[in-house]
Amino acid sequence: MQRRPRNNIIIVFLVLTLSLPAFGYYSTFDTGEIVRPDQNQVGFETQFIMTSPTATNFMAHYDLGASESVNYKFLLGGGTRTVQAGGFIKYIPLPDYKYQPAVGAIAGVIYANHQGSQALGLRFHPLISKRLNAEEFGIFTPYVSTPFGITFASLQTSYPSQFVLGSSWTMNNEDTAFRVIAEYGINMNAAFNYLTIGFTLPIDGTSTISDTN
């Protein structure tokens, strides 16, 4: 009988821990292509979280070209689980050129709020992509990432990591203004599996992607 209070505390702790939402949507939703300096790009993404408890999230992206190798990235999202906002720097020191893939990383901070519970996440997304010309089928740019980070929440500190595979696709070889992006993320630690689908387009209607091939 004396052990029940301790057991109750353990049960409550486990329930709170297991029901804690995975703060931050963690999607990469980008390739190694760079938005040209002083140009702008917007994107919209729908994410389906496939790990229980399942959820659907929606995110808006805004990218600003800073240099030939740096973009500033901002996002605002909401959905079944939480509301979030974040800012990132995308740095691609090795551009996509001939047989060389683009190699770089995206790093930044995400703030999230879930029904009054707040969290702050530090994120790092290593990124490799390669632009492939499929002639009349358009241009595909498959990418891979292993995003990881640290999330400070009110109930615990976690270290989420995932393995991500995705690709962008443009309608044809002449116009790279509109891109469709599909991505699948696999949970490696303290995160979730997900499928995300969305698109990006320049604000002024012309191509913003630097073509280094």
User: So where are the chain's domains?
Assistant: 21-202
What gap in Å lies between CA 165 and CA 177, rounded to an integer?
A: 22
- For the chain, residues with pLDDT lower than 50 are 1-3, 5-7, 9-24
pLDDT, position 210: 65
Instruction: Give the model's pLDDT for residue 117.
Output: 84
CB 51 within 8 Å of CB 187: yes
Q: CB–CB of 65/5 below 8 Å?
A: no
pLDDT at position 175 is 53
pLDDT of the residue at 115: 75
Indicate the burial class of 143 (C-beta count within 10 angstroms; 0-12, 13-18, 19 or more). buried
pLDDT value for 93: 98
Range 21-202: architecture per CATH? Beta Barrel (2.40)
pLDDT at 89: 98
What 3-state DSSP class applies to 125?
strand
Q: Report the share of the chain in percent with pLDDT over 90.
A: 63
Q: For the chain, give the number of residues.
A: 213
